[in-house]
């Protein structure tokens, strides 16, 4: 790692903490195929507190959980246990009873009908099965407010039993698809998703700080969730904790982890599926997963339907983007230096990562702030990614 990169990265982290509308604390890690290029932390775990943020601080990683669930599903495909194009109900029977919602009748009751085709696990991994999130979709938000549909944050089985927003396979919509993919994994293995992840991903990658339930050690390093109001003021949400004895291990958002652990997962993708303690995926599976799975469909921006949870969200506005198994793919070179064909995604509490297999670099940026697309968090992340390309990739080209 060059001194210029370390100084630049340190300045980005300290700057985003020191800014008047910045973040309480942040961790950022960059890696290449061999190991970490940078491990940095700045600020505190709780606004107004004294415990410093550290590289091993624990975060609720929200939707950065998704790629780990997708990896387990891909491993089951390799093992011959999962057919991505078979009806998902063969593995998770309840999904076969869900109907499509065609609006509401004059009395406000949902209009439901049978779907025109079956949901497959491939559709779940691609977000084309028909599911959404209440904080990104007005129909789901109405079901929550008027009909008591539980939030996915409850980690309950009832939260999964939502109607489909459209017939499976017709378009891309970001939602609880990967939670259902987790149910497919459980149906095939007969085990809880967290246990399968441990055997197939965490142990081979030496990820010792990643789980659905916090260990005492993890709890002692937990970063506090914060809420930013419309005026930019942050308030610690000291009581926020995802369910610790969850009814459902939510494959779409339920994990706790560290930036250091997640970077091990990123490095496995950079290394064609190989981890320090053994292979996770075959190289041909990795190459398949990084391809556009949507055909001519494109992913769309996400409207901020519940302002306390998310602002409107779109990465690199105006740039065409597709989806693989299970990542966003930018189809043009990004202004940060990230090349076309790279993989990336994010978590609701302003966690962001990218995986650039062409150049063999990636990184993870972790904060704990709601709503999603927090301006200070996003800009800090983009500045960090840009610094990696300026000081590491371009310097060695």
| Model pLDDT for residues 134-145, shown as the tens digit of each residue | 999 999 999 999
The pLDDT of 346-355, averaged and rounded, is 98
Q: How far apart are CA 16 and CA 380, in angstroms?
A: 6
Which residues are CB-contacts of 238 (< 8 A; sequence separation ≥ 6)? Answer: 46, 224
Tokens of 377: 């968090």
139-180 pLDDT per residue, tens: 999 999 999 999 999 999 999 999 999 999 999 999 999 999
Q: What's the CATH number of domain 3-67+192-396, 3.40.710.10, 3.30.930.10, 3.30.565.10, 3.10.105.10?
A: 3.40.710.10
Beta bridge partners of 113: 100
Across the range 373-379, mean pLDDT stands at 97
Residue entry with tokens 């009806």: 87
The pLDDT, as a whole number, for residue 75 is 98
> Is the Cα torsion angle 174, 311, 158, 188 positive or negative in sign?
positive
**Can you give the pLDDT at residue 358?**
97
- For all residues of the chain together, what is the average pLDDT? 97
Torsion-angle region of 149 (φ positive above 0: left; ψ -120 to 50: alpha; else: beta): beta
Report the pLDDT value the prediction gives residue 2, as an integer from 0 to 100.
73
- In the chain, which segments carry CATH 3.40.710.10? 3-67+192-396
Say which of 66, 75, 264, 321 is annotated catalytic: 66
In the beta sheet, which residues pair with residue 356?
361
User: Can you give the pLDDT at residue 334?
Assistant: 98
Q: What percent of the chain shows pLDDT beyond 90?
A: 97
pLDDT at 396: 76
User: Can you name the residues that pair with 101 across neighbouring β-strands?
Assistant: 112
Strands (E), the chain: 25-32, 36-43, 59-60, 100-104, 110-113, 225-228, 234-237, 256-257, 274-275, 278-279, 321-323, 328-330, 343-347, 351-356, 361-366, 369-370
- Helix 177-189 and helix 66-78: axis angle, to 10°? 40
pLDDT confidence of residue 74: 98
**How far, in Å, CA of 264 to CA of 270, rounded?**
10
Q: Which of 316, 318, 313 is nearest to 374 (CA)?
A: 313
Under the banding of pLDDT at 50, 70 and 90, the label for residue 397 is low
Query: How far is Cα 258 from Cα 208, in angstroms, rounded to an integer?
Result: 9
Cβ atoms 191, 199 nearer than 8 A:
no
Banded pLDDT at 395 (limits 50, 70, 90): confident
CA separation (Å) from 222 to 174, 227, 377? 28, 16, 19
Has residue 240 got a pLDDT over 80? yes
Helix ranges, the chain (H): 3-18, 66-78, 121-126, 138-147, 157-160, 177-189, 193-197, 216-219, 259-270, 283-289, 375-388, 394-396
Structure tokens at 257: 């982890």
Query: What mean pLDDT comes out for the span 72-94?
Result: 98
Predicted confidence at residue 1, as pLDDT, reads 54
**Residue 180 pLDDT:** 98
Per DSSP, 385 falls in state: H
Clarify whether 174 is annotated catalytic. yes
Choose, from 8, 38, 57, 63, the residue flagged as catalytic: 63
**Residue 63 annotated in active site:** yes
pTM for this model (two decimals): 0.97
The pLDDT confidence band at residue 102, using thresholds 50, 70 and 90, is: very high
- Whether the upstream peptide bond of residue 326 has omega within 30° of 0, thus cis, is yes
Q: Could you read off the pLDDT of 198-235 as tens digits, one per residue?
A: 999 999 999 999 999 999 999 999 999 999 999 999 99
Choose the catalytic residue: 174, 256, 364, 381. Answer: 174
């Amino acid at each position: 790692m060059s001194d210029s990169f370390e100084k630049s990265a340190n300045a980005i982290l300290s700057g985003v903490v020191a800014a008047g509308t910045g973040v309480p604390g942040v961790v950022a890690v960059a890696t290449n195929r061999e190991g970490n290029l940078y491990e940095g932390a700045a600020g505190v775990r709780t606004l107004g507190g004294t415990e410093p943020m550290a590289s091993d601080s624990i975060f609720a990683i929200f939707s950065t959980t998704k790629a780990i669930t997708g990896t387990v599903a891909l491993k089951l495909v390799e093992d011959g246990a999962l057919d991505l194009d078979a009806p998902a109900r063969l593995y998770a029977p309840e999904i076969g009873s869900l109907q499509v919602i065609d609006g509401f009748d004059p009395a406000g009751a949902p209009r439901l009908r049978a779907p025109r085709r079956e949901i497959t696990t491939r559709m779940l991994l691609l977000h084309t099965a028909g599911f959404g999130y209440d904080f990104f979709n007005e129909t789901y938000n109405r079901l929550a407010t008027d009909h008591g549909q539980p939030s996915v944050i409850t980690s309950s089985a009832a939260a999964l039993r939502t109607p489909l927003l459209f017939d499976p396979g017709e378009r891309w919509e970001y939602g609880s698809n990967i939670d259902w993919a987790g149910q497919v994994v459980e149906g095939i293995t007969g085990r809880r998703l967290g246990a399968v992840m441990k055997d197939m991903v965490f142990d081979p990658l030496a990820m010792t700080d990643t789980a659905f339930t916090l260990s005492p050690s993890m709890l002692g390093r937990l970063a506090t969730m914060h809420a930013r109001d419309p005026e930019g003021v942050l308030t610690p949400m000291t009581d926020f904790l995802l369910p610790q004895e969850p009814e459902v291990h939510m494959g779409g958002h339920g994990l706790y982890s560290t930036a250091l652990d997640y970077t091990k997962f990123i490095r496995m993708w950079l290394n064609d599926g190989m981890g320090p303690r053994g292979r996770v995926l075959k190289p041909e599976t990795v190459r398949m997963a990084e391809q556009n799975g949507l055909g001519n469909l494109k992913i769309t921006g996400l409207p901020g339907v519940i302002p306390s949870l998310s602002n409107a969200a779109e990465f690199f506005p105006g740039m065409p983007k597709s989806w693989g198994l299970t990542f966003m793919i930018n189809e043009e070179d990004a202004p940060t230096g990230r090349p076309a064909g790279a993989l990336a995604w994010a978590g609701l509490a302003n966690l962001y990562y990218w995986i650039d297999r062409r150049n063999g670099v990636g990184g993870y940026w972790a904060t704990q702030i709601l709503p999603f697309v927090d301006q200070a968090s996003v800009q800090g992340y983009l500045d960090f990614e840009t610094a990696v390309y300026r000081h590491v990739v371009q310097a060695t080209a």
